[in-house]
Amino acid sequence: MRLILLGAPGAGKGTQADFIKDKLEIPVVSTGNLLRSAMAHGTELGKKVTAYMESGSLVPDELVIDLVKERITQDDCAKGLIFDGFPRTVAQAEALDQVMKVDAVIFLHVEDDVIVKRMSGRRTCPECQTTYHIVSHPPKQEGICDKCGSVLGIRSDDNPEVVRQRLAVYHKQTEPIVKYYEAQGLLKVVECEPTIEGTSALVEKALEV
Ligand code: ADP
Ligand code: ZN
């Protein structure tokens, strides 16, 4: 199964991607995580994308498309995958169409004001990139990643000003692809519930039909 998880920044794509990954045993391809890892390792790509990412704008399409093309040729993607954070522009969606047939697109819908609230409490593991929320999804031990034991941090682009910028970019550049996939008959809309489990149940249902 080849899936795309679509939604605003902070809609919970990463969390639901992990849920589907465990359920269907297919890998998550998160362009945000791939780009952050390139930055952390100081690669050529990492150097090129830092300024875009820190300001909340999109990384140029060519860079992201090349990155994805390389990632999807790896063995673990053979039986399917879940895209999280890709495509983010119509140009990226068109480029993906040329190299892969997608089976479904799950659109996680959340209102902007809910997102801004959520992002202010988000904590992220710098090692394995798992995300938490200080109120709605705290780690078992405060400030420590459940999965790998690393000290949790706040992503530099999760500060309120940059969050607003990312939302503006989302509405302008990414939202048009909702229509793009709707026109292809691939779109499944999930109205997000207040809890992670509630949303996962709806995602599961969307995958069955
Ligand atoms: P979120 O979904 O919470 O905004 P991501 O980790 O998906 O976080 O993305 C963080 C940043 O990485 C984006 O603001 C953007 O700069 C860059 N990025 C990630 N994926 C893409 C993409 N497909 N195209 C362009 N830029 C991207
Ligand atoms: Zn971790």
The closest alpha carbon to 205, from 80, 106, 86, 101, belongs to 106
Residue 140, Cβ density class (10 Å: 0-12 exposed, 13-18 middle, ≥19 buried): exposed
Q: Is 35 in the pocket of ligand 1 (CB under 6 A)?
A: yes
- What residue ranges do the domains of the chain occupy? 2-196
Say how many Å lie between the CA of residue 66 and the centre of ligand 2: 27
Q: For the chain, how many residues are written?
A: 209
Q: What tens digit of pLDDT does each residue of 86-138 get?
A: 999 999 999 999 999 999 999 999 999 899 888 889 999 999 999 999 988 99
Query: Which amino acid appears at position 91 of this protein?
Result: A
Q: What is the pLDDT of residue 118?
A: 85
Q: Using H for helix, E for strand and C for coil, what is the string for 106-159?
A: EEEECCHHHHHHHHHCEEECCCCCCEEECCCECCCCCCECCCCCCECECCHHHC
Instruction: Give the predicted TM-score (pTM) of the model.
Output: 0.90
CATH fold of 2-196 reads Rossmann fold (3.40.50)
Q: Which helix (H) or strand (E) holds 15?
A: helix 13-24
Tell which atom from ligand 1 comes closest to the C-alpha of 166: 14
